[in-house]
Amino acid sequence: MANLSPMMKQYFDIKKQYPDTILFFRLGDFYEMFYDDAKLASRELDLTLTGRDCGQEERAPMCGVPFHSYETYLAKLVAKGYKVAICEQMEDPALAKGLVKRDIIRVVTPGTVLESSMLDESRNNYICSVYVRGNTAGVCFADISTGELYATVLTAELAEQLKNELSRYSPSEILVNSAVLDFTQLPDFIRNRLSASLELLEDGEYEQQKTTEEVQKQFGGKTLEDLELADKPELTAALGALFSYLHRTQRTGIERIASVQLYSGAQYMKLDLSARRNLELIETMRSKEKRGSLLWVLDKTHTPMGKRLIRTWMEQPLLSPAAISRRLNAVEELTGDAVLRDEIAEELSGIHDLERVMSRVVYGSANGRELRSLESTARRLPPLRSAIKGVQSQLLCSILENIDPLSDIADLVDRAIVEEPPFSLREGGIIRSGFSEELDLLKGDMSSGRGILADIEAKERERTGIPKLKVGYNRVFGYYIEVSNAYKEQVPPEYIRKQTLTNCERFITPELKDLEGRILGAHDKSVQLEHSLFEQVRKEIAGQMERVQHTAVAIAQLDVLLSFAQVSVDNQYTRPIVDMSGKLELRESRHPVVEALLNAPFVPNDVTLDKDENRVAIITGPNMAGKSTYMRQVALITIMAQIGCFVPAASARVGIADAIFTRVGASDDLAAGQSTFMVEMAEVADILKNATSNSLVILDEIGRGTSTYDGMSIARAVVEFVANKRTLGAKTLFATHYHELTVLEDLLDGVKNYNIACKKHGDDITFLRRIVRGGADESYGIEVAKLAGVPNKVVKRAKQILAELTSAAPAVPQSRKLAKQEEAVPLQMTLTPPGEAEALERLRQIDVNTLTPIECMNELFELAKMVKGGS
């Protein structure tokens, strides 16, 4: 190491400070990596590994990436969980005296990405900090690219609560203390399910005085009481450790996070990981794509801020009818004014990502083009304000008040920055003429110098008689006079030969040398001055961070409300009544996603659930008939109502649900050693432990994966538990193939039977998609198997086996309760003919909407026969 070159000594001194990173070491136009970093990067980035003499016998392994396109390579490394330290040249190498000064400007980790090319504009990129002590956890989520910071305290059932919160925000990087690792399954969950980077911080990072000082420093010296953190030591520790980590990795710009938003479970509907996945709120279960999700239907936003906010709203449905009503009032006002919607949409379409551009301004990484995008966005704010000036709803009025025109920022950028600024500051040409008198003088020298060069060229051609003589420039020799070999005999004696080429020779003159010093000196000074002026402009704009942030938030809210309104108009949605009644009454409701995907009309259905007579709906019917679709649409409509959107129904009353729990579909978790049945039972257990009487519970085919009698027993016990007000009493949709459970309607209060209507024609079956009262008469499993393409030979044999099993099975009364009542009630005379009573009961069971005209005629004929006594 003693024989290392000065540059390599500098490299190792810097590397020693950041041993757990890949060091991007700036050398000229490249970021170079050496030794182990080079070997790792060459493998991960598929780069050629070369070597460099560094003063030792062995050449140092080396590879590099171009400075102008480093983000592509950086993105690949960060996506794989690596940290990258950016070591920049802190001075112009051409002006440096000796070794160029270099230093780390930031460390890029998965949760601290700022580069727009590496971020998805439609979603936040959170870094999370978790501190656990005893039965309490402080958790916070920060997006340094937007300045958002959310924090909460969790108590009891920490393992599950942490999973749910982490799933809600999907952070890309998570900082934890050692106690978090006591939840043995959590690290695997973080790495495998969230694909997040996990960083274990030293216990010293959570020392009380240190974390308190970090929090107060971040928020301008405010006390913990001012920040409502005095009684939240675990949360203070999580926040303090986060800020300490960000100061180490980012160096500058952390002031972008100017406030913390505290939240609790009492504000938002509880949606655990299973519910979000099963209901496909943000992405589909199979393909993980947006198309086919509820977000795909509702997201018609125009701005990046709106795209991020609509995702947040969907994952955090509100529990306050008043707050929901504020959103619904705004949506209603927008749905009623097509001209207003069009005007708002037109102005929003030209708005750039204010939040992330502002973050790069504060961090000092925004370039001229991004400042110009800020200016063009600000120009749209006055007409946007004019468009919504006459609004009446409280939320839209608040949005109008919070949209700052930012005219001063737009004017500053317009005066300072050229309309088409270069990407890099290194070449100059970014500051507009007239902004700086000193810069204009330097550029005048450069322009006049170029004019003088043209004059010299013309004068020398005439003086020497060499028609093709030209004045040129390169970075090695500076300015020169070039003469082709055909005319070299005519070169004047005062020309000084500088370079001989194959076809020509190059010369200099004292006059040309003096001019070179003047022009190049003016150029270097102008580039330095432009860089300084640009930084001044950027710093001045950074000082307006709070105004820009308030405006960005208001625009995002307006964008989401407009999206809700436009979707509601396009899809004929209805404003729901949202209250604390506990009732869920939907008339002609539809599945928002399925109807958007279908090319045919969607068959609507009614829903009646409450906390009294209609607590549990047992839904029977064949597979593929639409039970799961029906149950999911009820859950999705509830969520849509509680995020403040209109819903797909003719009318809707939605009593606030504090949580939605789902047990839908089958899946193994082999990595955790759990079978399909074990996963199902674990999810059922979680639901029964955490649901309340105000929750909405969706249970699909409970009891599969074990013997028929075991499964049926479990399913019945679950129904009894959720139906009983003393144990749970939650609104529940329970789909099952166990027809034996339909007897529970007569045995348990609050249980009602429903089935999916279908028609059987010989061996064929037609699904009518209509939910009707009563239990299904059979499962139609064999018919569905035939529809799925099972060979006819297997289908026929299945029918034979079914007949044998059915004939051997003991007869079971449909209702033991009814059977006992029939035994107890003696026969008595009635004046009503028996045929009329039978006809009346049959009439109650008929759903006219599901009958074809010929079937209606047949039913009418049968009813007439009953009334006439079969004659």
pLDDT digits (tens, 9 = 90+) for 643-685: 999 999 999 999 999 999 999 865 444 334 456 778 888 889 9
Separation between Cα atoms, residue 651 and residue 575, nearest integer Å: 8
CB contact burial 77-103 (16+ within 10 A = b; e otherwise):
bbeebbbbbbbebeeeeeeeeeebebe
766, 656: one domain: yes
Separation between Cα atoms, residue 655 and residue 736, nearest integer Å: 25
Structure confidence at residue 672 (pLDDT): 44
**Tens digit of each residue's pLDDT (9 = 90 or more) over 388-426:** 999 999 999 999 999 999 999 999 999 999 999 988 777
Is 273 among the domain residues?
no
Q: For residue 620, what are the β-bridge partners?
A: 755
234, 311: one domain: no
Is 505 among the domain residues?
yes
Q: Tell me which residue has tokens 């995702």.
A: 311
**CB 296 within 8 Å of CB 122:** no
- 753 labeled part of a ligand binding site: no
Q: Helix-strand-coil percent breakdown of the chain, rounded to 5?
A: 50, 20, 35
Across 576-599, average pLDDT = 95
Alpha helices, DSSP H, located in 643-692: 676-690
Domain stops at, among 108, 130, 165? 108
Confidence of residue 810 (pLDDT cuts 50, 70, 90): low
Least confident interval from 229-238, 685-694, 725-734, 846-855 = 846-855
Least confident interval from 20-24, 25-29, 584-588, 846-850 = 846-850
Is 114 among the domain residues?
no
The segment with the largest mean pLDDT, out of 175-189, 467-481, 619-633, is 175-189
563, 588: one domain: no
Structure confidence at residue 794 (pLDDT): 79
Say yes or no to pLDDT of 355 above 90.
yes
Is 503 among the domain residues?
yes
**Residue 373: C-alpha distances to residues 304, 348, 361, 413 (Å):** 13, 14, 12, 10
Q: Give 570 or 253, the one with higher predicted confidence.
A: 570
Separation between Cα atoms, residue 24 and residue 38, nearest integer Å: 10
Confidence of residue 832 (pLDDT cuts 50, 70, 90): very low
Q: For residue 332, what are the β-bridge partners?
A: none
CATH number at residue 125: 3.30.420.110
Q: What is the DSSP letter of 671?
A: G
Structure confidence at residue 670 (pLDDT): 35
Instruction: Report helix angle 354-363 to 545-571, nearest 10.
Output: 160
Strand, coil or helix: 726? coil
The total of other beta-carbon atoms located within 10 Å of residue 205's CB is 21
Least confident interval from 191-200, 468-477, 562-571, 642-651 = 468-477
49, 146: one domain: no
**Residue 813: C-alpha distances to residues 222, 740, 742, 743, 820 (Å):** 72, 10, 11, 9, 10
The total of other beta-carbon atoms located within 10 Å of residue 679's CB is 19
> Chain-centre distance of CA 516, in angstroms?
55
Strand, coil or helix: 792? helix
- 871 labeled part of a ligand binding site: no
Confidence of residue 787 (pLDDT cuts 50, 70, 90): low
Say yes or no to pLDDT of 561 above 70.
yes
Is 430 among the domain residues?
no
Structure confidence at residue 871 (pLDDT): 45
**CB 575 within 8 Å of CB 637:** no
Separation between Cα atoms, residue 633 and residue 662, nearest integer Å: 12
**pTM score, whole prediction:** 0.83
Q: What is the CA radius of gyration of the chain?
A: 37
**CB 732 within 8 Å of CB 615:** yes
589, 556: one domain: no
Structure confidence at residue 867 (pLDDT): 67
589, 738: one domain: yes
**CB 506 within 8 Å of CB 480:** yes
Structure confidence at residue 671 (pLDDT): 38
558, 442: one domain: no
Structure confidence at residue 625 (pLDDT): 62
99, 153: one domain: no
Token output for 807: 């004939």
Structure confidence at residue 848 (pLDDT): 59
Structure confidence at residue 65 (pLDDT): 94
Is 285 among the domain residues?
no
- 807 labeled part of a ligand binding site: no
CA atoms within a 13 Å half-sphere pointing along the CA-CB vector of 478: 16
Separation between Cα atoms, residue 386 and residue 182, nearest integer Å: 56
Say yes or no to pLDDT of 827 above 60.
no
Is 281 among the domain residues?
no
Element (H, E) at 63: strand 60-66
Domain stops at, among 538, 560, 590? 538
Separation between Cα atoms, residue 738 and residue 718, nearest integer Å: 13
Say yes or no to pLDDT of 433 above 70.
yes
Range of the structural domain that residue 563 is part of: 299-406+544-571
Q: Give 279 or 850, the one with higher predicted confidence.
A: 279
Least confident interval from 492-506, 592-606, 663-677, 854-868 = 663-677
Q: Which of 156, 112, 154, 160 is nearest to 130 (CA)?
A: 154
Q: Which is it for strands 173-176 and 197-200: parallel, antiparallel or unpaired?
A: parallel
Domain stops at, among 76, 108, 140? 108
CATH number at residue 318: 1.10.1420.10
**328 contact partners, CB below 8 Å, separation of at least 6:** 575, 576, 578, 644, 646
155, 224: one domain: yes
Strand, coil or helix: 406? coil
446, 484: one domain: yes
250, 337: one domain: no
- 622 labeled part of a ligand binding site: yes
Say yes or no to pLDDT of 298 above 50.
yes
Structure confidence at residue 674 (pLDDT): 53
User: In sequence order, what E strands does 417-567 have?
Assistant: 470-474, 478-484, 496-500, 504-508
Say yes or no to pLDDT of 353 above 70.
yes
Token output for 97: 């005296």
Separation between Cα atoms, residue 251 and residue 114, nearest integer Å: 13
Alpha helices, DSSP H, located in 170-320: 186-188, 208-218, 233-250, 273-278, 294-298, 304-315
Is 61 among the domain residues?
yes
HEC assignment per residue over 311-370: HHHHHCCECCHHHHHHHHHHHHHHHCCHHHHHHHHHHHCCCCCHHHHHHHHHHCCCCHHH
- 390 labeled part of a ligand binding site: no
Separation between Cα atoms, residue 703 and residue 711, nearest integer Å: 4
The residue type of 570 is D
Say yes or no to pLDDT of 743 above 70.
yes
Structure confidence at residue 824 (pLDDT): 37
Please work out, in degrees rounded to the nearest 5, the angle formed at the alpha carbon of residue 814 by the alpha carbons of 811 and 815. 125
Across 144-148, average pLDDT = 95
What's the chain's average pLDDT?
87
Domain count, the chain: 6
Element (H, E) at 773: strand 764-773
User: In sequence order, what E strands does 123-243 have?
Assistant: 127-133, 136-143, 148-155, 173-176, 197-200
Structure confidence at residue 798 (pLDDT): 74
**Quick one: what percent of the chain has pLDDT higher than 70?**
87
Please work out, in degrees rounded to the nearest 5, the angle formed at the alpha carbon of residue 466 by the alpha carbons of 463 and 469. 100
Q: Tell me which residue has tokens 């609790």.
A: 264
- 625 labeled part of a ligand binding site: yes
Say yes or no to pLDDT of 124 above 80.
yes
Separation between Cα atoms, residue 863 and residue 871, nearest integer Å: 12
523, 551: one domain: no
Q: Give 807 or 127, the one with higher predicted confidence.
A: 127
Please work out, in degrees rounded to the nearest 5, the angle formed at the alpha carbon of residue 533 by the alpha carbons of 528 and 536. 130
Separation between Cα atoms, residue 536 and residue 630, nearest integer Å: 60
